Amino acid sequence: MTPLRERMLQDLRIRGRSKNTQKSYLERISQFARHFGQSPDQLGPEQIRAYQIYLLEYKGVSIGQLRQFVAAARFLYGTTLEREWTIQKIAYPKQPQTLPEVLSEEEVRKFLESILNVKHRAIMTTIYGTGARVSEACQLSVRDIDSKRRLIRIREAKGAKDRYVPLPSFLLQTLRTYWQKFRPDTILFPGRRRDRPIATRHVCNVCVKAARAAGIPKHTTPHCLRHSFATHMLERGANILDVQAILGHTSLKSTSRYLHVSSKAIATAPSPLDEIMRQPGSEKRA
């Protein structure tokens, strides 16, 4: 590891960035350096701009991937290298405000029932039943399950914050069935090695296969299950502040977008049309 890479890693750790963020930022900067064949501290705004154009026009990366590179570059040059030009010279692309993909409650039931593997069903039930991110579910330990209080502790989640999420009765029974068969020691959902968590990529692949087996045409991912959980909670009358706390959102704005995909909320929202057409004389005018 080069001294610059080590220093950037230390800066990320000091600021409490998650392991996923550390890995992502270092990978993005490493790719940037390899593209020009130079150390990042020898590159500047012009090379960053050229690389952004390369990513968009030649690599065809998504806006999300481009934003990851920009965030990593801003951290490197602004925090680690302390370059004064950082914020002004590195353009931050706007993220399109698209609505998340959401499964219906019936589709969730079919999805979970289609998973025959006990371990896979347990982790998918955990993701939907708690609204946890896939990385959070994979990192759970056996001691995080508090069956008496009906809570699950999510440790060092996004933003390096712990939080509690509910432990529904069905999920508790699912986890007990799983534990009786696999008897995990420390990590709740280990991978091939019992001392390491299951890979998020593997969980994503399981998700895709389960959706296909259930006959669900939607693009179903672990994050889609999280979106579905939040939407169904709001549709069932949950307080939006409670949903915000369960999801671990810092801003209420992040949670409120689920109101836009709640079919029940939209369908029952009063429209002025009905009230207008009930007024006297409306039938004659029609």
Strand residues in the chain grouped as ranges (E): 145-146, 151-154, 163-166
Closest to 137 measured CA to CA, from 110, 149, 119: 119
CA distance linking residue 112 with residue 91, whole number of Å: 42
249 is catalytic: yes
77 is catalytic: no
CA distance linking residue 278 with residue 231, whole number of Å: 32
Catalytic-labelled residue, pool 74, 121, 158, 163: 158
Catalytic-labelled residue, pool 121, 226, 227, 232: 226
What pTM was computed for the model? 0.70
CA 46-52-57 angle, to 5 degrees, is: 125
158 is catalytic: yes
CA distance linking residue 62 with residue 18, whole number of Å: 22
Catalytic-labelled residue, pool 83, 218, 223, 257: 223
209 is catalytic: no
Q: What average pLDDT score do residues 91-118 get?
A: 85
pLDDT tens-place string over residues 203-220: 999 999 999 999 999 999
133 is catalytic: yes
Q: What average pLDDT score do residues 162-168 get?
A: 89
Element (H, E) at 244: helix 240-247
Closest to 13 measured CA to CA, from 101, 109, 91, 80: 80
pLDDT tens-place string over residues 25-62: 999 999 999 999 999 999 999 999 999 999 988 888 88
Quote the tokens at residue 247: 């999801």
Domains for the chain: give ranges and CATH numbers: 3-89 (1.10.150.130), 105-267 (1.10.443.10)
Long-range contacts of 52-58 (CB under 8 A, 24+ apart): 52/91
Catalytic-labelled residue, pool 110, 155, 249, 257: 249
Catalytic-labelled residue, pool 133, 163, 227, 232: 133
163 is catalytic: no
Q: Tokens 């502790």 sit at which residue?
A: 153
